Structure 1
Amino acid sequence: MTWAPHVTVATIVERDNRFLMVYEDSDGKLVYNQPAGHLDPDETLHQAAIRETLEETGWTVKLTGVVGVNLYTAPSNGVTYLRTTFIGEALSHDPQRKLDTGIIEAVWLTYEELVARKDQLRSPMTLQIIDDYRAGRRFPLEVIG
């Protein structure tokens, strides 16, 4: 039997003490998450993070670092995700851009607002990786080949 985790990326973007998040429909449940998604064929992890952030939020970002590479097995379906979370700087926004299917809106939330919505987060990793970021966990982009 072959086991293969799903390769995903996410981006933490902070501006004015607020984090760029997506409010989305995930299997019929409305949740908050970082801009995130799957790696497409023939793209790098860096390219995937920039693309997913734009597709889900309308924001163009410049990647500045990496928070971490984490494994998460979803209890709902048993799928394991290998997620690389990048740090991004917001460069420009296209408010007319159509967002990915399932995305209701992109929102900027403070850490306190995220904690208050803990039960509405897509997974425990959503807040954990922000906690890692806030604790100063940073790696250079070059750590990811």
Structure 2
Amino acid sequence: MSTEIDVGGIKIKGGRLFLVFTALGTLIGGLYGAFEVYKTYQDMQAAISTYEAPDLSGIEERISILEERIESQNTTLAAQESIVSLSRESINRIDGDMQSLFSDVRASDKRLYELERDTSKELIEIRKSIRTQIEEALENPLSNTQ
């Protein structure tokens, strides 16, 4: 049971008819695909030609403000670092002055102790001398003490 079709005096059997329809379907599908690609290409060209870059001035303005803030903070930070450095130098200088002052106080305390000791020795010697003089005066037969 073979089916034959007569087209314009040409007899085509069922298997070949199937191949002809398949080839025609492939050709029509290929042409349709090519048309869709071309149409997409044309739409893309139209979109590109009408493309306008978005307005980024607001973003650029924000970036500029942020850069100014960062610069201001960097300046503040540098000033604070300078203040800390100067404070450290002042503290070190004051510490040195205090050490010198403590050294002077210790030297003064030592000298005062030595003076007190020397004065005490001299006072003892003066008392001994006065006592000796009084005893000699009392033992002197020429003194009028009776």
In the superposition, the TM-score normalised over structure 2's length comes to: 0.12
Whichever structure has more helix as a proportion of its residues is 2
In the superposition, the TM-score normalised over structure 1's length comes to: 0.12
RCO greater where, 1 or 2, for CA within 8 Å and sep 6 or more?
Answer: 1
Q: Rg larger in 1 or in 2?
A: 2
